[in-house]
Structure 1
Amino acid sequence: MSTYFPVHPENPQRRSINHVVDILRDGGLIAYPTDSGYAFGARLGNKDALERIRKIRDLSDKHHFTLVMSQFAQVGQYVQMDNWVFRAVKAAVPGRYTFILKATRDVPKVMLHPRKKTVGVRVPQHVTALSLLEVLDEPIVSSTLIMPGHHTPMVDGWQVQDELGDHLDAVIDSGDCGAEPTTVVDFTSGEALITRRGAGDPTPFE
Structure 2
Amino acid sequence: MAQLIKIYEENPNPKEIQKVVKTLKNGGLIIYPSDTVYALGCDITNKSALERIAQIKGVKLEKANFSFICEDLSNLSDYVKQIDTSTFKLLKRALPGPYTFILPSNNNLPSAFKKKKEVGIRVPDHSVARAIVRALGNPIVSTSIKDEDEVIEYTTDPELIYEKWGNLVDIVIDGGYGGNIASTVIDLTGDEPVLVREGKGDLEI
2:85 counterpart letter in structure 1: N
Partner of 2:80: 79
* Cα drift, residue 134 of structure 1: 2.0
1:128 equivalent to 2:123? Answer: no
Partner of 1:39: 39
Check the 8 A contact 1:57/1:146 in 2, yes or no: no
Check the 8 A contact 2:145/2:154 in 1, yes or no: yes
Partner of 1:170: 171
Query: 1:56, 1:155 → 2: CA distance?
Result: 19
Aligned residues: CA RMSD: 2.0
2:172 counterpart letter in structure 1: V
Query: 1:152, 1:15 → 2: CA distance?
Result: 32
* Cα drift, residue 148 of structure 1: 5.4
1:153 equivalent to 2:154? Answer: yes
* Cα drift, residue 58 of structure 1: 2.7
* Cα drift, residue 31 of structure 1: 0.6
User: Could you list the per-position Cα deviations for residues 153-174 of structure 1 after superposition, in whole angstroms to 9, with x for gaps in the alignment?
Assistant: 3322111110011100111111
User: Could you list the per-position Cα deviations for residues 87-130 of structure 1 after superposition, in whole angstroms to 9, with x for gaps in the alignment?
Assistant: 21111111000001111222214136x4x521110111112112
* Cα drift, residue 45 of structure 1: 2.5
| Alignment map for 1:100-115 (pairs within 5 Å) | 100-111=102-113, 114=115
Query: 1:176, 1:137 → 2: CA distance?
Result: 27
Query: 2:134, 2:189 → 1: CA distance?
Result: 29
Check the 8 A contact 2:133/2:139 in 1, yes or no: yes
Check the 8 A contact 1:68/1:140 in 2, yes or no: yes
Gaps spanning 5+ residues in structure 2: where?
none
Partner of 2:18: 18
Query: 2:158, 2:113 → 1: CA distance?
Result: 26
1:102 counterpart letter in structure 2: P
Query: 1:45, 1:147 → 2: CA distance?
Result: 27
Check the 8 A contact 1:50/1:111 in 2, yes or no: no
Question: What is the number of equivalent residue pairs in this alignment?
Answer: 202
TM-score, structure 2 as length reference:
0.89
Gaps spanning 5+ residues in structure 1: where?
none
Check the 8 A contact 2:158/2:176 in 1, yes or no: yes
1:84 counterpart letter in structure 2: S
User: Could you list the per-position Cα deviations for residues 19-72 of structure 1 after superposition, in whole angstroms to 9, with x for gaps in the alignment?
Assistant: 110000001111100001111111113222223222322335533211111112
TM-score, structure 1 as length reference:
0.89
Report the 3-state secondary structure (helix = DSSP H, G, I; strand = E; otherwise coil) of the residue aligned with 2:159. Answer: helix
* Cα drift, residue 176 of structure 1: 4.5
Query: 1:68, 1:181 → 2: CA distance?
Result: 14
2:10 counterpart letter in structure 1: E
Query: 2:127, 2:54 → 1: CA distance?
Result: 27
Partner of 2:192: 191
Partner of 2:55: 55
Check the 8 A contact 2:29/2:171 in 1, yes or no: yes
Check the 8 A contact 2:158/2:177 in 1, yes or no: no
